[in-house]
Protein backbone atom coordinates (compact mmCIF):
# COMPACT_ATOMS: atom_id res chain seq x y z
CA UNK A 1 0.00 0.00 0.00
CA UNK A 2 2.78 2.41 0.90
CA UNK A 3 4.55 1.58 -2.32
CA UNK A 4 1.48 2.55 -4.36
CA UNK A 5 1.19 5.89 -2.57
CA UNK A 6 4.84 6.65 -3.17
CA UNK A 7 4.50 5.69 -6.87
CA UNK A 8 1.45 7.95 -7.30
CA UNK A 9 3.25 10.83 -5.59
CA UNK A 10 6.26 10.46 -7.83
CA UNK A 11 4.06 10.26 -10.91
CA UNK A 12 2.22 13.44 -9.95
CA UNK A 13 5.49 15.24 -9.22
CA UNK A 14 7.02 14.23 -12.58
CA UNK A 15 3.89 15.25 -14.47
CA UNK A 16 3.89 18.67 -12.80
CA UNK A 17 7.57 19.11 -13.62
CA UNK A 18 7.01 18.13 -17.23
CA UNK A 19 4.24 20.73 -17.53
CA UNK A 20 6.49 23.36 -16.01
CA UNK A 21 9.34 22.47 -18.35
CA UNK A 22 6.95 22.61 -21.31
CA UNK A 23 5.79 26.10 -20.29
CA UNK A 24 9.39 27.27 -19.89
CA UNK A 25 10.30 25.83 -23.29
CA UNK A 26 7.32 27.53 -24.93
CA UNK A 27 8.30 30.88 -23.40
CA UNK A 28 11.84 30.46 -24.65
CA UNK A 29 10.57 29.61 -28.14
CA UNK A 30 8.47 32.79 -28.12
CA UNK A 31 11.47 34.83 -26.93
CA UNK A 32 13.66 33.31 -29.63
CA UNK A 33 11.05 34.16 -32.27
CA UNK A 34 10.97 37.79 -31.08
CA UNK A 35 14.75 37.99 -31.15
CA UNK A 36 14.81 36.44 -34.62
CA UNK A 37 12.30 39.04 -35.86
CA UNK A 38 14.39 41.85 -34.34
CA UNK A 39 17.54 40.47 -35.99
CA UNK A 40 15.72 40.25 -39.34
CA UNK A 41 14.51 43.84 -38.95
CA UNK A 42 18.02 45.09 -38.13
CA UNK A 43 19.52 43.21 -41.08
CA UNK A 44 16.86 44.54 -43.44
CA UNK A 45 17.49 48.11 -42.27
CA UNK A 46 21.24 47.62 -42.71
CA UNK A 47 20.68 46.31 -46.24
CA UNK A 48 18.41 49.25 -47.08
CA UNK A 49 21.05 51.70 -45.84
CA UNK A 50 23.73 49.88 -47.84
CA UNK A 51 21.64 49.94 -51.04
CA UNK A 52 20.73 53.60 -50.47
CA UNK A 53 24.42 54.53 -50.17
CA UNK A 54 25.24 52.51 -53.29
CA UNK A 55 22.46 54.32 -55.18
CA UNK A 56 23.84 57.69 -54.09
CA UNK A 57 27.33 56.73 -55.29
CA UNK A 58 25.96 55.47 -58.63
CA UNK A 59 23.86 58.61 -59.06
CA UNK A 60 26.93 60.78 -58.46
CA UNK A 61 28.86 58.76 -61.04
CA UNK A 62 26.03 59.13 -63.56
CA UNK A 63 25.87 62.91 -63.02
CA UNK A 64 29.65 63.18 -63.41
CA UNK A 65 29.53 61.10 -66.61
CA UNK A 66 26.76 63.38 -67.94
CA UNK A 67 28.78 66.49 -67.08
CA UNK A 68 31.88 65.05 -68.76
CA UNK A 69 29.87 64.14 -71.86
CA UNK A 70 28.34 67.62 -72.10
CA UNK A 71 31.78 69.18 -71.61
CA UNK A 72 33.25 67.10 -74.45
CA UNK A 73 30.30 67.87 -76.73
CA UNK A 74 30.61 71.59 -76.01
CA UNK A 75 34.36 71.53 -76.64
CA UNK A 76 33.69 69.88 -79.99
CA UNK A 77 31.18 72.54 -80.98
CA UNK A 78 27.98 70.55 -80.42
CA UNK A 79 25.06 72.72 -79.37
CA UNK A 80 23.31 72.02 -76.05
CA UNK A 81 19.54 72.52 -75.86
CA UNK A 82 17.67 72.73 -72.53
CA UNK A 83 14.91 70.15 -72.04
CA UNK A 84 11.27 71.35 -72.17
CA UNK A 85 9.79 72.19 -68.78
CA UNK A 86 7.84 69.54 -66.85
CA UNK A 87 4.69 71.62 -67.07
CA UNK A 88 4.68 71.37 -70.85
CA UNK A 89 5.67 67.68 -70.94
CA UNK A 90 2.81 66.69 -68.60
CA UNK A 91 0.12 68.11 -70.89
CA UNK A 92 -1.93 65.14 -72.19
CA UNK A 93 -1.98 64.67 -75.97
CA UNK A 94 -5.34 63.90 -77.58
CA UNK A 95 -5.08 61.53 -80.54
CA UNK A 96 -7.17 62.18 -83.63
CA UNK A 97 -8.71 58.68 -83.43
CA UNK A 98 -10.51 59.39 -80.14
CA UNK A 99 -13.74 61.38 -80.63
CA UNK A 100 -14.57 64.08 -78.11
CA UNK A 101 -18.10 65.25 -77.63
CA UNK A 102 -18.11 69.00 -77.06
CA UNK A 103 -20.62 71.73 -77.82
CA UNK A 104 -19.96 73.37 -81.18
CA UNK A 105 -19.54 76.79 -79.51
CA UNK A 106 -16.59 75.54 -77.42
CA UNK A 107 -14.78 73.67 -80.21
CA UNK A 108 -12.64 76.64 -81.44
CA UNK A 109 -11.42 77.36 -77.84
CA UNK A 110 -10.47 73.68 -77.36
CA UNK A 111 -8.43 73.64 -80.58
CA UNK A 112 -6.55 76.79 -79.51
CA UNK A 113 -5.61 75.26 -76.13
CA UNK A 114 -4.27 72.09 -77.79
CA UNK A 115 -1.79 74.11 -79.86
CA UNK A 116 -0.23 75.96 -76.90
CA UNK A 117 2.01 73.09 -75.60
CA UNK A 118 3.67 72.80 -79.03
CA UNK A 119 4.63 76.50 -78.89
CA UNK A 120 6.07 76.12 -75.41
CA UNK A 121 8.25 73.20 -76.53
CA UNK A 122 9.83 75.38 -79.22
CA UNK A 123 10.72 78.27 -76.91
CA UNK A 124 13.88 76.78 -75.26
CA UNK A 125 15.61 76.07 -78.60
CA UNK A 126 14.70 79.52 -79.90
CA UNK A 127 16.09 81.08 -76.72
CA UNK A 128 19.41 79.24 -77.15
CA UNK A 129 19.70 80.25 -80.81
CA UNK A 130 18.98 83.88 -79.92
CA UNK A 131 22.01 84.09 -77.59
CA UNK A 132 24.76 86.18 -79.18
CA UNK A 133 28.08 86.11 -77.33
CA UNK A 134 31.56 84.57 -77.46
CA UNK A 135 30.18 81.01 -77.41
CA UNK A 136 29.19 81.47 -81.07
CA UNK A 137 32.81 82.17 -82.13
CA UNK A 138 34.92 79.22 -83.26
CA UNK A 139 38.27 80.22 -81.75
CA UNK A 140 41.06 77.69 -82.20
CA UNK A 141 44.82 77.37 -82.07
CA UNK A 142 46.72 77.36 -85.37
CA UNK A 143 50.29 77.35 -86.62
CA UNK A 144 51.54 79.51 -89.50
CA UNK A 145 53.31 77.05 -91.80
CA UNK A 146 53.81 79.43 -94.74
CA UNK A 147 53.72 83.21 -95.13
CA UNK A 148 54.27 85.66 -97.97
CA UNK A 149 53.39 89.23 -98.77
CA UNK A 150 50.20 89.71 -100.76
CA UNK A 151 51.11 90.13 -104.44
CA UNK A 152 48.68 93.04 -104.87
CA UNK A 153 48.70 94.75 -101.43
CA UNK A 154 51.78 96.06 -99.62
CA UNK A 155 50.13 96.01 -96.17
CA UNK A 156 48.83 92.41 -96.30
CA UNK A 157 50.33 88.99 -95.53
CA UNK A 158 49.02 85.79 -97.08
CA UNK A 159 49.46 82.88 -94.65
CA UNK A 160 48.84 79.15 -94.70
CA UNK A 161 47.70 78.17 -91.19
CA UNK A 162 47.42 74.63 -89.84
CA UNK A 163 44.30 74.57 -87.62
CA UNK A 164 44.36 70.83 -87.00
CA UNK A 165 42.22 70.13 -90.06
CA UNK A 166 42.88 68.04 -93.17
CA UNK A 167 44.05 71.08 -95.14
CA UNK A 168 45.61 74.36 -93.96
CA UNK A 169 43.53 77.53 -94.21
CA UNK A 170 44.50 80.51 -96.33
CA UNK A 171 44.40 83.67 -94.21
CA UNK A 172 44.99 87.26 -95.27
CA UNK A 173 46.20 89.53 -92.43
CA UNK A 174 46.89 93.27 -92.44
CA UNK A 175 49.96 92.95 -90.23
CA UNK A 176 52.82 93.95 -92.55
CA UNK A 177 53.22 97.35 -90.85
CA UNK A 178 52.99 95.87 -87.34
CA UNK A 179 54.79 92.52 -87.19
CA UNK A 180 57.94 91.59 -89.20
CA UNK A 181 57.50 88.60 -91.47
CA UNK A 182 60.27 86.66 -89.70
CA UNK A 183 58.32 86.90 -86.42
CA UNK A 184 55.26 85.45 -88.15
CA UNK A 185 56.91 82.33 -89.59
CA UNK A 186 56.09 79.08 -87.73
CA UNK A 187 54.23 81.07 -85.10
CA UNK A 188 51.48 79.57 -82.91
CA UNK A 189 48.43 81.87 -83.02
CA UNK A 190 44.75 82.06 -82.03
CA UNK A 191 42.48 82.00 -85.08
CA UNK A 192 38.79 82.81 -85.57
CA UNK A 193 37.72 79.98 -87.87
CA UNK A 194 34.02 80.44 -88.60
CA UNK A 195 34.08 83.77 -90.42
CA UNK A 196 32.51 83.69 -93.86
CA UNK A 197 35.35 83.40 -96.43
CA UNK A 198 35.94 86.72 -98.16
CA UNK A 199 38.20 87.83 -101.00
CA UNK A 200 40.85 90.42 -100.13
CA UNK A 201 42.51 91.83 -103.23
CA UNK A 202 41.81 88.63 -105.15
CA UNK A 203 42.88 86.16 -102.40
CA UNK A 204 40.17 84.36 -100.41
CA UNK A 205 40.72 84.59 -96.66
CA UNK A 206 39.23 81.71 -94.64
CA UNK A 207 39.92 82.86 -91.07
CA UNK A 208 41.38 85.68 -88.97
CA UNK A 209 44.51 85.85 -86.80
CA UNK A 210 43.48 87.40 -83.47
CA UNK A 211 45.55 90.30 -82.12
CA UNK A 212 45.63 92.81 -79.28
CA UNK A 213 45.19 96.23 -80.83
CA UNK A 214 45.64 99.85 -79.77
CA UNK A 215 45.81 102.99 -81.95
CA UNK A 216 49.61 102.91 -81.63
CA UNK A 217 50.40 99.19 -81.74
CA UNK A 218 49.13 95.77 -82.83
CA UNK A 219 50.40 92.50 -81.28
CA UNK A 220 49.66 88.91 -82.26
CA UNK A 221 48.24 87.08 -79.23
CA UNK A 222 50.31 84.31 -77.63
CA UNK A 223 48.67 80.93 -76.86
CA UNK A 224 49.82 79.01 -73.74
CA UNK A 225 52.89 76.77 -73.82
CA UNK A 226 52.03 73.35 -75.21
CA UNK A 227 49.10 74.60 -77.29
CA UNK A 228 48.86 72.74 -80.59
CA UNK A 229 47.04 73.25 -83.91
CA UNK A 230 43.39 72.32 -83.52
CA UNK A 231 43.18 73.02 -79.77
CA UNK A 232 39.86 74.69 -78.94
CA UNK A 233 39.75 78.02 -77.12
CA UNK A 234 37.11 78.25 -74.41
CA UNK A 235 35.72 80.99 -72.19
CA UNK A 236 34.56 80.20 -68.66
CA UNK A 237 30.84 80.77 -68.25
CA UNK A 238 30.23 80.62 -72.00
CA UNK A 239 30.16 76.94 -73.16
CA UNK A 240 31.20 76.61 -76.81
CA UNK A 241 28.29 76.61 -79.28
CA UNK A 242 30.02 77.95 -82.41
CA UNK A 243 28.03 78.59 -85.54
CA UNK A 244 29.27 76.51 -88.52
CA UNK A 245 29.71 79.84 -90.29
CA UNK A 246 28.93 83.33 -88.99
CA UNK A 247 26.16 85.07 -90.92
CA UNK A 248 27.40 88.60 -91.71
CA UNK A 249 23.81 89.87 -91.49
CA UNK A 250 23.55 88.80 -87.83
CA UNK A 251 26.77 90.70 -86.96
CA UNK A 252 27.71 88.19 -84.26
CA UNK A 253 31.41 89.03 -84.20
CA UNK A 254 30.65 92.75 -84.30
CA UNK A 255 28.37 92.27 -81.26
CA UNK A 256 31.08 90.39 -79.33
CA UNK A 257 34.01 92.62 -80.36
CA UNK A 258 33.47 95.47 -77.83
CA UNK A 259 33.73 92.95 -74.95
CA UNK A 260 36.85 91.20 -76.28
CA UNK A 261 39.75 92.87 -74.47
CA UNK A 262 42.98 92.18 -72.64
CA UNK A 263 42.95 92.79 -68.88
CA UNK A 264 45.57 94.29 -66.54
CA UNK A 265 47.50 91.00 -66.71
CA UNK A 266 47.50 91.06 -70.55
CA UNK A 267 45.10 88.06 -70.64
CA UNK A 268 42.63 88.07 -73.52
CA UNK A 269 39.08 88.06 -72.07
CA UNK A 270 35.43 88.27 -72.97
CA UNK A 271 33.61 90.38 -70.38
CA UNK A 272 36.51 89.79 -67.94
CA UNK A 273 36.31 85.98 -68.39
CA UNK A 274 39.68 84.68 -69.73
CA UNK A 275 40.04 82.92 -73.07
CA UNK A 276 41.89 79.67 -72.36
CA UNK A 277 43.02 76.39 -73.85
CA UNK A 278 41.67 73.91 -71.30
CA UNK A 279 44.42 72.27 -69.29
CA UNK A 280 47.13 74.47 -70.83
CA UNK A 281 46.45 78.07 -69.90
CA UNK A 282 45.19 81.49 -71.06
CA UNK A 283 45.78 83.47 -74.24
CA UNK A 284 47.89 86.59 -73.55
CA UNK A 285 49.26 89.65 -75.32
CA UNK A 286 53.02 90.31 -75.36
CA UNK A 287 52.73 93.77 -73.75
CA UNK A 288 49.36 95.42 -74.37
CA UNK A 289 46.96 95.79 -71.43
CA UNK A 290 43.29 96.80 -71.49
CA UNK A 291 43.05 97.01 -75.29
CA UNK A 292 40.66 95.46 -77.77
CA UNK A 293 41.16 91.98 -79.20
CA UNK A 294 40.35 91.72 -82.89
Q: What Cα–Cα distance (Å) separates residue 29 from each residue in 41, 86, 197?
A: 18, 56, 90
Whether residues 143 and 52 share a domain: the answer is no
Whether residues 64 and 155 share a domain: the answer is no
User: Per mean pLDDT, which range of 12-26, 227-241, 272-286 is the poorest?
Assistant: 12-26
Whether residues 57 and 178 share a domain: the answer is no
pTM above 0.85, yes or no: no
Instruction: Name the CA radius of gyration of the chain, rounded.
Output: 39
Whether residues 199 and 62 share a domain: the answer is no
Number of structural domains (the chain) is 2
Summarize pLDDT for 139-167 with one digit per residue, the tens. 999 999 999 999 999 999 999 999 999 99
Q: Is residue 43 part of a domain?
A: yes
Summarize pLDDT for 192-229 with one digit per residue, the tens. 999 999 999 999 999 999 999 999 999 999 999 999 99
User: Mean pLDDT highest for which of 11-20, 107-116, 229-238?
Assistant: 229-238
Residue 277: CATH number of its domain: 2.40.50.140
Question: What is the span of the domain harbouring residue 225?
Answer: 134-293
Whether residues 281 and 153 share a domain: the answer is yes
Summarize pLDDT for 232-242 with one digit per residue, the tens. 999 989 999 99
Summarize pLDDT for 59-87 with one digit per residue, the tens. 888 888 887 787 777 776 666 665 554 44
Whether residues 253 and 145 share a domain: the answer is yes
Beta bridge partners of 143: 162, 188
7-36: burial string, b at 16+ Cβ within 10 Å, e else: eeeeeeeeeeeeeeeeeeeeeeeeeeeeee
Whether residues 171 and 262 share a domain: the answer is yes
pLDDT of residue 102: 45
Q: Is residue 281 part of a domain?
A: yes
Whether residues 278 and 157 share a domain: the answer is yes
Whether residues 31 and 159 share a domain: the answer is no
Q: Is residue 101 part of a domain?
A: no
Q: What is the DSSP letter of 284?
A: B
Amino acid sequence: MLTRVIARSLSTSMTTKLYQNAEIAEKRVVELRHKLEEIKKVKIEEKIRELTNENKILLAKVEKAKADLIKQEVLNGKKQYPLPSKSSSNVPIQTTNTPIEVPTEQAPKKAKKEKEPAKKNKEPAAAVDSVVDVRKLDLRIGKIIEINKHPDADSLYVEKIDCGEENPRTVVSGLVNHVPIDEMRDRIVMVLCNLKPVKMRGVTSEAMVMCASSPEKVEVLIPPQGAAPGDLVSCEGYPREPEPQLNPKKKIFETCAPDLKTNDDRVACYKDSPLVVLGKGPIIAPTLKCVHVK
